[in-house]
Amino acid sequence: MRRLFAVLLAVMFVWTLPAGRALGQAAGVKVIVNGVEVSLPAPAVFSGGQVMAPISGLFEPMGAIAAYYESDRSIVVSNRVRTTLRMRLGDPTLHVNGTARPLPIAPSLQGSQVYVPAQAVFSALGAWTKFEDADRTLYVSSQIRSLTTLVVADALQVRVDATGPVQVETNVLSSPDRLVVDFLHAALRTQERELSINGAGVTRIRTAQFQIKPYVSRMVFDLAQPVEVRVTTSTTSYLVTLEVRPKGQVTSTGGPPAEPRDPSQAAAAKIMGVKFEESGQAGRLVIEGTNTMEYKVREFVYPDRLAIDIQNAVFIPIKQEFAVDGPSIVSIRAAQFTADPPITRVVVILKRKMNYLVSQSDGRLRIEINAYTGRGHIVALDPGHGGRDPGAVGPTGLRESDAVLDIALRVRELLQRDGIRVVMVRETDATVELPDRPRLAREAGATIFVSLHANAHARTAVNGSETYYLTPQSLALAQMIQDELGIVLGIPSRGIKTANFVVLRDSGIPSVLVEAAFISHADDEAHLRDATFRQRIAQAIHKGINRFLAIYPSPVAP
């Protein structure tokens, strides 16, 4: 088998490999991407006017993944809008979707790490980059390249197209009434800076580069009446859609204007508490107050969370914190964030990035949080063996076919909770011929295929988990699942490998074969008998699948 060493950007731990100093004398260059300081397995260095950085962990905050193919010494970087960059060690050429362009420095192998010229590669992904020699830091940000507006049925839709992930912060202000939307760590590259709207409660939109270090792009909606705003982030691109709707009747333009209100003179609002109403895959956060609230919503990552800051507000309960443990939300906490000025902060810890809608009425601020449901996907789960083929048998008699069926059913339950459709190749102890397994998945319209197994080896001391793949389209799925297994199982992670298995060769879709543990190893077999351990395997596979679906979603709706 030809060896392939793969490095995926979504690695959740830091490798401790030595850095190659041949690239330059000065080490310790920091790389900050969309506000996140990237944790690299070896130091980035500045050489020949370029920052050379190892690819592991480098591109994830830009919404991209990277892999190194040892067989032909090539590096592949791809993102969710299917931009594909290809390079080879020692060759100063970058191929962007097949079109060649020169690189300032060729990629190189230093020790065990693959280094690439970071600025050039990030720029090819559409990012803004700048190296600050004073603090020896490479700054990288997404860019907003276009925005379009459309008023339909009393709703204003603003589509903001970026070159990478952006965080959105909304803020409702008064005197005069306006909605402020900030795109954090995003450079504004649009031509029009003022748009006349005169609909949906909005008179005009003004855009500007509000801040440069770090970049913040600002959109100000001048309002004719109170509005509510829904923020939707696409899972298939880097498109953010703002939907603005009036909350009441159109404000009359007759009569004298109202006296402006000085917010500093207004009495502080009293926040009486927060509660969460679960609804299917998502739910509604309700903040109870005594009067209208001025608020700001911030998005954070690592972990994903929403922070709602309520201006000029006192939190009466002093502090609230409770677990939700639902399919989309982990927990919620609320407290007095600052005393002068009084600001109440409510933080929602998410399991993954969510869309949300903010509205306000009757002294209540409501945040509708909508889960990503993997719409359009069908996941095929293939519990290995079964029926007359028990698979490998452990030292105390545990059959592989029984253990992996239980794990697959647990994965199915977790995926179905997310609203993702699942097809089971088998869901009982039935015999399914090997060539029929990928065929059944294809006929069911599956978009990914995951075959579940327990490994065996003649040397009974061998243990751990590993994941196999064959095609380049399956690489990211394999690495993401293996990453999650390595984090939670507490047994060795043997990484990802290639194999020409029938189920990987004949499916025609991203396909992997997961060897969760070695049933031939006494301790691994004991773990596989444990329902808690099998649940951890299922949760890891579920999380890896969700990470993959978020990056490579299906273009076909159900």
Judge whether 427 counts as a catalytic residue. no
Selection from 194, 200, 244 nearest residue 218 by Cα: 194
For residue 25, the model assigns a pLDDT of: 40
Angle value at C-alpha 402, between 401 and 403, nearest 5 degrees: 95
Q: What does 133-148 look like in DSSP terms, one character per residue? A: TTTTEEEEEEEEEEEE
Please write the tens of the pLDDT for every residue from 494-516: 888 999 999 999 888 899 999 99
Cis peptide bond N-terminal to 214, omega within 30:
yes
Measure the CA–CA gap between 26 and 21, rounded to whole angstroms: 8
pLDDT on residue 374: 55
Separation of alpha carbons 554 and 79, rounded Å: 14
The edge-to-edge listing of strands for the beta sheet with 319-323 is: 194-199, 202-212, 215-223, 178-184, 167-173, 294-300, 305-311, 342-350, 329-339, 319-323
Which residue type does 166 have?
A: V
Supply the pLDDT for residue 235: 59
Q: In sequence order, what are the residues at sequence separation of 6 or more whose Cβ sits closer than 8 angstroms to the Cβ of residue 252?
A: none
Task: Report which of 142, 173, 139 is spatially closest to residue 160, judged by C-alpha positions.
Answer: 142
Burial of 474 (0-12, 13-18, 19+ CB in 10 A): buried
CB contact set of 134 (below 8 Å; sequence gap of 6+): none
pLDDT in the model for residue 154: 84
Describe the strand order of the beta sheet including 45-47 as a list of residue ranges.
45-47, 50-54, 113-117, 108-110
The length of the chain is 558
**Domains delineated in the chain:** 21-125 (3.30.457.10), 142-249 (2.60.40.3500), 270-348 (2.60.40.3500), 378-551 (3.40.630.40)
Position 288: which residue type? E
Distances (CA, A) of 115 to 47, 49, 64, 85: 12, 15, 16, 15
Looking at residue 484, what is its pLDDT? Answer: 85
| Residues in contact with 133: Cβ distance below 8 Å, sequence separation at least 6, in sequence order | none
180: its two tokens: 């402020």
**Residue 244: phi, psi to the nearest 5?**
-110, 130
Which of helix, strand or coil describes residue 23? helix
Q: What is the pLDDT of residue 371?
A: 54
pLDDT tens for the chain, 558 residues: list them.
333 333 333 333 223 333 334 444 445 799 999 998 998 888 999 988 899 999 988 998 898 888 777 767 888 888 777 688 889 999 999 998 888 999 999 999 988 889 999 999 999 999 999 999 889 999 999 999 988 898 887 899 999 999 999 999 998 887 788 899 999 999 999 877 889 998 899 999 999 999 988 889 999 999 998 888 888 887 567 899 999 998 854 333 333 333 333 434 457 889 999 999 877 656 889 999 987 788 888 877 767 788 999 988 999 998 999 998 776 788 999 999 988 889 999 999 987 667 777 777 778 888 888 655 455 688 999 999 999 999 999 999 999 999 999 999 999 998 887 778 899 999 999 999 999 999 999 988 899 999 999 999 999 999 999 999 998 778 888 888 987 898 889 898 888 899 999 999 988 889 999 999 999 999 999 999 999 999 999 999 998 898 788 655 554 443
Q: Is the pTM of this model over 0.75?
A: no
Residue with tokens 């907003």: 144
Which pLDDT score is estimated for 24? 42
Given the residues 169, 484, 515, 525, the one annotated as active site = 515
For residue 424 the two structure tokens come to: 């089971």
Q: Which long-range contacts (CB under 8 A, 24 or more apart) does 489-492 make?
A: 489/465, 489/516, 489/517, 489/527, 489/533, 489/536, 489/537, 489/540, 491/463, 491/464, 491/465, 491/517, 491/523, 491/524, 491/527, 492/463, 492/464, 492/465
Q: What is the pLDDT of residue 256?
A: 36
The first and second tokens of residue 61, run together, are: 């905050």
